[in-house]
Amino acid sequence: MAKVSYRIRSKSNSSNILIQFNINRDIRPEVKTGLIIDAQYWNSKIEKITDKNVITKNLKTQLLDLKTHILKEYNLDFEKGIVFNKEWLELKINNFFNRKDETIDLNFLTNYINDFIENRKLNPDFKPTTNQKFKTLLTKIESFEKQNKVKYLLKDFDQKLFNKFRFYLMAEGKLMETTANRTLKNLKTILRDARFNGFEISHQVDGIKTEVKSDVKIYLSFEEIEQIKKTHIIGSNNAIAKDWLIIGCFLGQRVGDLMKMNKSMIYKKINAQGQEFEFIELKQEKTGQNVSIPIHSEVKKILKKYNGEFPPLFSTNASANATLFNRYLKEVAGICEINTIVKGKVFNDELGRNEIVETEKHNLITSHVCRRSFATNFYADKRFPTPLLMAITGHKTERVFLEYIGKTSSDYAMDTAETFAQIENEKQKLA
**How buried is 377 (Cβ within 10 angstroms: 0-12 exposed, 13-18 middle, 19+ buried)?**
buried
Q: Decide if pLDDT at 250 tops 60.
A: yes
* pLDDT value for 410: 60
* pLDDT value for 212: 65
Mean predicted confidence (pLDDT) in 4-28: 89
* pLDDT value for 407: 78
Give the pLDDT band (50/70/90) at residue 396.
confident
- Strand 290-294 vs strand 30-37: parallel, antiparallel, or unpaired? unpaired
What's at 338, amino acid-wise?
Answer: I
Backbone angles phi, psi at 188, to 5 degrees: -60, -35
Mean predicted confidence (pLDDT) in 397-416: 76
Contact present, 281 and 291 (Cβ < 8 Å): yes
Segment 43-87, tens digit of pLDDT: 877 767 876 676 677 888 899 999 999 999 998 888 777 778 888
Residue 430 has a CB neighbour count (10 Å cut-off) of: 6
Contact present, 58 and 69 (Cβ < 8 Å): no
Give the pLDDT band (50/70/90) at residue 216.
confident
Q: Decide if pLDDT at 347 tops 90.
A: no
Residue 100 has a CB neighbour count (10 Å cut-off) of: 6
Please tell me the number of Cα atoms within 13 Å of 320 on its side-chain side. 5
Q: Decide if pLDDT at 41 tops 80.
A: yes
Alpha-helix residue ranges (DSSP H) falling in 33-99: 54-78, 86-96
Distance from C-alpha of 301 to C-alpha of 119, rounded to nearest angstrom = 48
Distance from C-alpha of 401 to C-alpha of 385, rounded to nearest angstrom = 12
Within 8 A by CB and 6+ apart from 229, the residues are: 246, 298
* pLDDT value for 389: 92
Mean predicted confidence (pLDDT) in 338-360: 80
120, containing H or E segment: helix 109-120
Backbone angles phi, psi at 59, to 5 degrees: -65, -40
Compare 405 and 242 and report the one with higher pLDDT. Answer: 242
Name which of 412, 18, 24, 408 is nearest 216 in CA terms.
Answer: 408
Give the pLDDT band (50/70/90) at residue 214.
low
Residue 189 has a CB neighbour count (10 Å cut-off) of: 15
Of the chain, the percentage scoring pLDDT greater than 90 comes to 55
* pLDDT value for 431: 65
134, containing H or E segment: helix 132-148
**DSSP codes of every residue in 392-413:** HH--SSHHHHHHHTT--HHHHH
Distance from C-alpha of 370 to C-alpha of 359, rounded to nearest angstrom = 20
Mean predicted confidence (pLDDT) in 116-125: 79
Distance from C-alpha of 317 to C-alpha of 294, rounded to nearest angstrom = 28
**DSSP codes of every residue in 85-106:** SHHHHHHHHHHHTT---TT--T
Distance from C-alpha of 417 to C-alpha of 419, rounded to nearest angstrom = 5
Mean predicted confidence (pLDDT) in 285-294: 89
Contact present, 104 and 111 (Cβ < 8 Å): yes
Mean pLDDT across the chain: 88
Strand partners, 21: 4
Q: How far is CA 133 from CA 158, 177, 185, 235, in A?
A: 21, 16, 11, 38
Q: Decide if pLDDT at 111 tops 90.
A: yes
Residue 321 has a CB neighbour count (10 Å cut-off) of: 17
Fold of 222-398: hpI Integrase; Chain A (1.10.443)
* pLDDT value for 86: 87
**How buried is 279 (Cβ within 10 angstroms: 0-12 exposed, 13-18 middle, 19+ buried)?**
middle
* pLDDT value for 295: 96
- Out of 14-18, 138-142, 199-203, 324-328, least confident range: 14-18
Compare 409 and 308 and report the one with higher pLDDT. Answer: 308
- Out of 26-40, 90-104, 151-165, 358-372, least confident range: 90-104
Q: Ramachandran region of residue 406, left (φ > 0), alpha (ψ -120 to 50) or beta?
A: left
Q: How far is CA 425 from CA 48, 380, 384, 417, 431, in A?
A: 92, 20, 21, 12, 10
Distance from C-alpha of 127 to C-alpha of 285, rounded to nearest angstrom = 10
Backbone angles phi, psi at 205, to 5 degrees: -55, -45
